Each structure stands twice: as C-alpha cells, then as structure tokens.
C-alpha cells in the first residue's frame, strides 16, 4: 500500500473493522502548569491557535480529528506525506501565532506519527498505530515531531526534510522496540551561510534531553584524499551517540552544512537547537593518525572537555 492509500475517513468502517491509517498524536507541553498560571488566557490562546493554524492545516492536508482532550489531538490522514507535512507546518508556525505575554507562558506542542491498523469504535480509534504515535510524542522535544521508521521509509526521498535517528526506543505499553526519528527541515547550505554572515537566523527551542551536534572535523593532513577518512570517523561518532537514548543528537546532514566555514559556536548552538558542540581535527600521515576533539557548551562558548588521541592504522 502506498502513502496515498491510507484512508483518513473511518466513518464508513464497521465496528471492529481494521484499516491502515497514518496517525498523528499532538500534545500540549506543560498544559497543567500553563492553566495554573493563567487559565482563561491559556484557553483563549489555544482556541485561537486551533482556529487560525492547527485546524486549517489539518484540513489542508486532508486530515480528520478523531479525538481531542483539550490539550491533545488525535488526527488521522489519508496520506503519510500529509501527516508529516501538517505536523511540520504547525510546529514551524506555532511560535509565530502564539500570542504569549511572556516566555514562561508560551504554548508549544510535541507530535508523534506512526502508521498502523486502526479499529473504529464510534468516535474512538484504537490500535497499535495510535499507541505508538502517542508514545513517540512523549519522547519528543518541545516543538518537535518524532516518527517511526515506517513513516520515515515512506517519505524519505519525497520531502525536503532531515530525519535524525533516535535509535530503538522502548515505549510504554508497546511490546517491541520502535526505531524512531526526529524530523527537521533541510536548510540549504547557502541559507545557513547567509544567516551566519548576517545574523538573521532564529534560535531553535532546546530539547528536553541533553542535545549535541558533532561538526565536521578539520582535515589537517593537507591531502584532500583524506577528507573521506575524517568524514567517516565523524559519522561513526554521530552513530554511536545516536544509540544513547537520553541524548538528542543532530544528524550529519544538519551539522555538516557548517563544514569549511569560520563558525561561532554560540550561533551554531542557537541555529541547531543544541546545548553542546563537538569539534575537532584529524591528521593522518603514513601509518599514524592524530585526532583532537573538544566538547563545548554552546550557550557560553566554554570548553568542557578536550583531548588528543594518537594511534597506528592497521594496514
């Protein structure tokens, strides 16, 4: 079945009949806290967000709201592409539509998307896809979209997005580990370079987890042929860090856009939405290799750790 075959309208589904659907589960971050701060103001702003942004985006991408719990939404779509496009659009535009009186009153959402069999029961929807989507959003950073591998494999080459691996997640009430990804827009290198030059980029919200970006290491060998060695080593580092569930790791496609540029780590941290930056260099000569690396706190630019590694290459 292709992505366009997954129907969102379950109104004609008989009780107990299964249908394959794309499921989006959205939950408002810190709802109880915001209600405690200003119940009337929070509800009014949430209502405006629904009317001006969220509901129109769902309709635009042929989705249908199945359940709403005030601070959460369960939505089904007739295409997997539509579910992802809708989620990304909403998360991008919520900061522009939210009329927050102060930073501690901002409204943000977490979103999870999965594909799975669903069983309609009146106005309710049940099934594995619903559970996985709900659990994925709980593992998302505020303002983020997390998807299963099934969703990623459907949309991988069709949408201008970056999928950052989160590894195999053990989700509550899900019997098997779920291979998950975080979604980011793919920014062209020239737009990032222009932002660095003119300071026009906007800061991304920091994830709830410790977040880290590994930048391309500098090839100090003076041999362009050694670029592949340096890049391959950094890819191995990124892959190893991505297996650590409590870390939020930026994908290679995002961090490598800064390759060859004179960077400001504070600005890179704001643009990628991370707390920590790893940078370093590689020098390879004959059968010897020297690797230097440093871990930097992006917000302050201070070095937390630095080290040098010398070794021999096995022929």
Model confidence pLDDT, tens digit, residues 50-76 = 999 999 999 999 998 988 887 899 999
User: What local confidence, expressed as pLDDT, does residue 196 receive?
Assistant: 41
Please state the rounded mean pLDDT for residues 69-95.
89
User: What local confidence, expressed as pLDDT, does residue 121 receive?
Assistant: 62
What CATH code would you report for 189-312?
3.40.50.10610
The model's pLDDT over 208-259, given as tens digits with 9 standing for 90+, comes to 778 899 998 888 876 766 777 888 888 889 888 888 878 888 887 778 878 8
User: What local confidence, expressed as pLDDT, does residue 93 receive?
Assistant: 87
Q: Which CATH number fits domain 3-185: 3.40.30.10, 3.30.70.1230, 3.40.50.10860, 3.40.50.300?
A: 3.30.70.1230
Q: Mean pLDDT in the chain? A: 80
User: What local confidence, expressed as pLDDT, does residue 160 receive?
Assistant: 75
3-state secondary structure the chain: CCHHHCCCCCCCCCCCCEEEEEEEEEEECCHHHHHHHCHHHHHHHHHHHHHHHHHHHHHHCCEEEEEECCCEEEEEECCHHHHHHHHHHHHHHHHHHCCCCCHHHCCCEEEEEEEEEEEEECCEEECHHHHHHHHHHHCCCCCCEEEEHHHHHHHCCCCCEEEEEEEEECCCCCCCCEEEEEEEECCCHHHHHHHHHHCCCCCCCCCCCCEEEECCCEECCCCHHHHHHHHHHHHHHHHHHHCCCCCEECCHHHHHHHCCCCCCHHHHHHHHCCCEEEEEEEEEECCEEEEEEEEEECCCCEEEEEEEEEEECCC
Please state the rounded mean pLDDT for residues 182-206.
52
For CATH 3.40.50.10610, list the domain ranges present in the chain: 189-312
Please state the rounded mean pLDDT for residues 266-271.
85
Considering the entire predicted model, what is its pTM? Answer: 0.58
For CATH 3.30.70.1230, list the domain ranges present in the chain: 3-185
User: What local confidence, expressed as pLDDT, does residue 42 receive?
Assistant: 92
């Amino acid at each position: 079945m292709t992505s366009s075959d997954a129907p969102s309208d379950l109104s004609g589904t008989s009780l107990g009949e299964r249908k394959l659907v794309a499921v989006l589960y959205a939950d408002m971050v810190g709802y109880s806290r915001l209600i405690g701060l200003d119940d009337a103001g929070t509800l009014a702003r949430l209502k405006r967000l629904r009317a001006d942004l969220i509901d129109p985006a769902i309709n635009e991408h042929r989705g249908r709201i199945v359940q709403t719990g005030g601070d959460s939404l369960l939505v089904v779509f007739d295409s997997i592409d539509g579910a992802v496009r809708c989620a990304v659009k909403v998360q991008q535009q919520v900061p522009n539509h939210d009329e927050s009186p102060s930073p501690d009153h901002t409204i943000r959402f977490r979103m999870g998307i999965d594909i799975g069999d669903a069983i309609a029961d009146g106005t309710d929807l049940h099934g594995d896809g619903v559970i996985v989507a709900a659990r994925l959003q709980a593992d998302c950073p505020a303002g983020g979209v997390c998807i299963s591998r099934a969703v990623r494999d459907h949309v991988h080459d069709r949408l201008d997005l970056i999928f950052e691996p989160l590894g195999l997640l053990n989700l509550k009430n899900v019997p098997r580990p779920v291979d998950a990804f975080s979604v980011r827009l793919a920014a062209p290198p020239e737009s990032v370079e222009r932002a660095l030059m003119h300071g026009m980029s906007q800061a991304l919200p920091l994830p709830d987890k410790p977040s880290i970006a590994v930048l391309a290491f500098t090839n100090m060998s003076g041999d362009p042929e050694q670029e592949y060695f340096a890049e391959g080593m950094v890819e191995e580092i990124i892959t190893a860090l991505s297996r650590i569930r409590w870390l939020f790791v930026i994908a290679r496609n995002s961090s490598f856009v800064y390759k060859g540029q004179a960077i400001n780590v504070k600005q890179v941290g704001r643009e990628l939405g991370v707390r920590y930056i790893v940078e370093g260099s590689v020098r390879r000569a004959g059968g010897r290799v020297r690797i230097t690396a440093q871990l930097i706190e992006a917000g302050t630019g201070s070095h937390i750790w630095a080290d040098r590694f010398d070794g021999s290459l096995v022929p």
